Chain A
Amino acid sequence: MIKSKIYYTNVCVEPLNFNTIFWQCIRKEDGPMRSTLRISFMVSLMILFVSHASSQEQYPTRPITMVVPYTAGMIDTMTRTICKVAEKELGEPIVVENRPGAAASIGMNYVLKSKPDGYTIGSTTTTSYITTPHTQKVPYNVLADVTDIMAFCRYNQILCVRTDAPWKTYEELIDYAKKNPGKFKYATPGVGTAQHICIEQIAMKEGIKWTAIPFKGGGEAVLATLGGHTDGVGMSSIETSAHIKAGKLRPLLVLTDSRLPDFPEIPTILEKGYHFTATTYVSVYGPVGLPESIRQRLEEVFKKVMSDPSFIEAARRFQIEIPYMSGKEYSAYWRSKYDERGKIIKGLGLEAK
């Protein structure tokens, strides 16, 4: 049977030659054991061939686990939406698991330490790649342990003040801040968040001092500003657009790449001449060592899903943008921001001790 095994290896790598080699092999056997041997040989080959071939050519063959490192919210819902549609394309269910904690690092650690066979993947944000590894000690190395599959949505940030505040434009605010160092107090959803860092980068560029007051999450930050306890807030349109439309908050500057469809008259940070944004993408990733064929398959499927109406509708409801970035593009994107972000975090004194 050793001889047949050598033939078998040939068979699997070059399936086109299977027929000729197979029949050659069978014809070589002779004697009274011929038929039993032949049958058992054929059966064992078929079993081996079928199982080996399917695991290479037909990923996935069993359910996939998608780890979301946040509790129910926008990222969780968007991930579930994309998975629900992708399931139909892939033919296997995608089970979404919430593993929140430690600024998404617990969930990420779980994915990055799992087997790179394409059956454990996760979704995460740009913050987990470029900020969290600098502000806390994480048990993995994002630069080495990650395989980016693709990025599928992006949320914006807006710098707002109350409508009864004296600053009607962004320039007026900067003017005030220059003349009154430390008096402007803005609420953030936490220390080291994208909007906190972006607003501090503005301060560094303009040479002004203003005070960040961190809260536990966006809801409290907006509440404090509405109640007059802080002068401004930087949050995404998910939290602020309702209040802007109700006339309680005035948006001054969009801290991300493009103008908002709901408030097209508000300028963006890039238009004002700055070279940084608070843009955050949500992406799908896997552990390093993920086979390229599987990665590509997932990338294609998720890309296709992004044009599904249910996905577009969900994005509309959360008021987020859905630009597609391939794994390679996104990987280059965040890696280019990694060092710069690290420097700023050190400058703000937020690096992990």
Chain B
Amino acid sequence: MNITGFFENLLLGYQVAFTAANLLYCFVGVLVGTLIGVLPGIGPAGAISLLLPVTYGIKPVSAIIMLAGIYYGTQYGGSTTSILVNIPGEAASVVTCIDGYQMARQGRAGPALGIAAFGSFIAGTVGIITLMFLAEPLSNVALSFGPPEFFSLMILALTISTYLAHGSMIKALIMVALGIGLSQVGTDIISGRMRFTFGIIELQDGIGLVPLVMGLFGISEVLISLEESGEVTILKEKIKGLLPNLKDWMDSIRAIIRGTFLGFFLGILPGGGAVVASFVSYAVEKRFSKHPEKFGTGAIEGVAGPESANNSATSGAFIPLFVLGIPSNAVMALLLGALMIHGLQPGPLLIKENPEVFWGTVMSMYIGNVMLLILNLPLIGLWVRVLKVPYRILFPLILFFCVIGCYSLYTRAFDVFMMLIFGIIGYIFRKVKYEPAPLVLAFILGSLMENALGQSLLMFGGDLSLFITRPISASCLIVALMLLLGSIFSRKGRGVLAKIS
């Protein structure tokens, strides 16, 4: 790698990013992103598609800086409502609800929000550095993942999905099965046939992730809290401190590091991005924790890991976009459109022909992360006061934002209807102590897995041995097998086996 060339590029990026106009666009982007993340219902895809026409009149770099700011900004803001009111701001913040909310109920909302912000900052920064140095080699990683590799990776992810639950294992498995079942609804891309659509035209694209998540987590939370009578607020105990203390840091640092690398890797691959990264990070943290039983009751690793993972995933997602011109998720597809609208040709030559776009965006991402940290930390004191707002004011507002966010995605009342149905289903689940988190992961993985399987079988002409002979696919399957065997033969597993026999 050419060192002088590299520093030239850094200088170029610095020059582009530090103009007054681009600093302003960066700030606007991250501010809007944080707000969008905080508001439940609307996520980065919806926000960017609404704001895309606004960028038509400005320079290409400035447009990308702003839109990218919105994207990673939402990952900062999304954890806020997850922690404070157990309602995810957007799909990648779902797992943060599990432990973050418990921490808030114990008066530790401040440290939770703080570690989320710091974790996001560290992960974002590391992600950007990796993007800068290793963009090209890592794009080859994206290329080497064909359908068989995807399938094996999804199997691996599914193997750890049961760690998302902290109650009965059987119930978690039922939710996984239900999630996979729900993912079958829609048009099968391999055969073109429609499944389980019952003649409803809106179901042809499958059940939307946003209505599902907002319903199962958001609306159901509102319904559950309706049961509590009297003048209720979320915070039952006194607020203990506003920032994470030394012990919190010691507990979380490994989670942050693991989340960063996991998230970045998953962000490069098409399909899951930040959402899958956050789920997998939570499961990994629980799996490798010395006290897994603490998860679900307020373990800070359960906030630090996923929040870092979803931020570094956003940096990773930029690699296929900038190096190959191929978007790895819906938000990147919108950014691709934005690049084209501004006359840039996304593809392998983009970095060579328009270096100021790539390096300018990368440098502004640093600036954006710093801005976000500065924005979010002082606001913790403000957000924590939200916990004192009585339910009767708070929850109607949340419901309002959920409905608007859900509708604004595709201008479809049907999505709102689905969200409400899943809200009722989610309420029933919670009453009978079934946890929705494994269902959501299985739902995302289910359709990805099935598509990958179909494509692989078409590629192989039906020869299944190729799953094991292709190196990357084989390694994923071996790791999945090891994880499975590890749980069966662990002390807990042997105890269960003894009970059965």
Chain A residues proximal to chain B, CB less than 8 Å:
71-74, 76-77, 80, 97-103, 105-106, 109, 135-139, 182, 185, 190-192, 211-217, 219-220, 222-224, 226-230, 238-239, 241-243, 245-246, 248, 313-314, 317-318, 350, 352-353
Contact = CB atoms under 8 A, between A and B. Distances in A.
B189 A99 contact: no
Nearest to B410: A100
Contacts of A102: 201-202, 204-205
B325 interface: yes
B168 interface: no
B337 A229 contact: no
Given A192-B192, A229-B459, A350-B192, A317 B411 contact: no
Interface in B162-206: 187, 189-194, 199, 201-202, 204-205
B349 A215 contact: no
18 contacts: A71-B410, A98-B411, A99-B410, A191-B190, A217-B333, A219-B333, A220-B270, A223-B320, A227-B145, A227-B146, A229-B146, A239-B325, A241-B347, A242-B349, A243-B325, A245-B345, A317-B341, A317-B342
Nearest to B321: A219
Contact of B324 (A136, A223, A353): A223
A103 B324 CA distance: 27
A229 B458 CA distance: 11
Given A136-B194, A185-B458, A318-B340, A241 B333 contact: no
B418 interface: no
Interface string B119-156: 00000000000000000000000111111000000000
A314 B411 CA distance: 26
B340 to A, nearest CB: 6
B350 interface: yes
B327 interface: yes
A216 to B, nearest CB: 6
A106 to B, nearest CB: 6
A44 B280 CA distance: 72
Interface in B307-321: 320
Contacts of A222: 326
Nearest to B148: A229
A223 B326 contact: yes
A214 B49 contact: no
B343 interface: yes
A222 B321 CA distance: 13
Nearest to A229: B146
Contact of A182 (B143, B191, B333, B461): B461
Nearest to A102: B204
B202 A106 contact: yes
Nearest to B348: A246
Contact of B189 (A77, A106, A214): A214
A353 B337 CA distance: 35
B458 A216 contact: no
Contacts of B330: 71
Contacts of A223: 142-143, 270, 320, 324, 326
B53 interface: yes
A222 B201 CA distance: 29
Q: Most chain-B CB neighbours within 10 Å: which of A98, A103, A223, A248?
A: A223
Contacts of A227: 142-146
A187 to B, nearest CB: 9
B340 A74 contact: yes
Contact of A77 (B147, B204, B337, B459): B337
B411 A99 contact: yes
Nearest to A318: B340
Nearest to A222: B326
A243 to B, nearest CB: 6
A222 B341 CA distance: 20
Given A216-B189, A242-B345, A353-B193, A224 B201 contact: no
Contacts of A219: 270, 326-328, 333, 336
Nearest to B146: A229
Interface string B423-462: 0000000000000000000000000000100010011010
Contacts of B451: 215-216
Nearest to A77: B341
B412 interface: yes
B346 interface: yes
B52 interface: yes
B334 A72 contact: yes
B410 A317 contact: no
Nearest to B269: A223
A191 B411 contact: no
A261 B387 CA distance: 62
Given A185-B458, A192-B192, A224-B146, A74 B337 contact: yes
B455 A214 contact: yes
Contacts of A74: 337, 340
A313 B459 CA distance: 40
Contact of A190 (B189, B325, B347): B189
Contacts of B143: 223, 226-228
A224 B142 CA distance: 10
A191 B191 contact: yes
Nearest to B325: A242
A239 B340 CA distance: 11
Q: Most chain-B CB neighbours within 10 Å: which of A71, A239, A314?
A: A71
Contacts of B201: 101-102, 105-106, 109, 138-139
Contacts of B49: 71-72, 98
A105 to B, nearest CB: 6
A191 B192 contact: yes
Given A98-B410, A139-B201, A213 B337 contact: no
Given A98-B410, A215-B455, A242 B340 contact: no
B476 to A, nearest CB: 16
B326 to A, nearest CB: 4
B302 to A, nearest CB: 31
A186 to B, nearest CB: 11
A131 B205 CA distance: 17
Nearest to A98: B411
B412 A213 contact: no
Interface in B374-415: 410-412
A241 B345 contact: yes
Given A102-B205, A191-B189, A224-B146, A211 B412 contact: no
A101 B202 contact: yes
Q: Most chain-B CB neighbours within 10 Å: which of A109, A185, A216, A220?
A: A220
Interface string B20-48: 00000000000000000000000000000
A227 B325 CA distance: 14
A136 B458 contact: no
Nearest to A109: B201
B458 A211 contact: yes
B60 to A, nearest CB: 11
B375 to A, nearest CB: 27
A107 B325 CA distance: 29
A114 B193 CA distance: 29
Nearest to A353: B193
Nearest to B194: A136
Nearest to A219: B326
Contacts of B193: 353
Report the 4 A-B pairs with minimum CB-CB distance, sorted nearest first: A242-B347, A229-B146, A191-B192, A227-B143
Given A77-B341, A214-B190, A317-B341, A101 B204 contact: yes
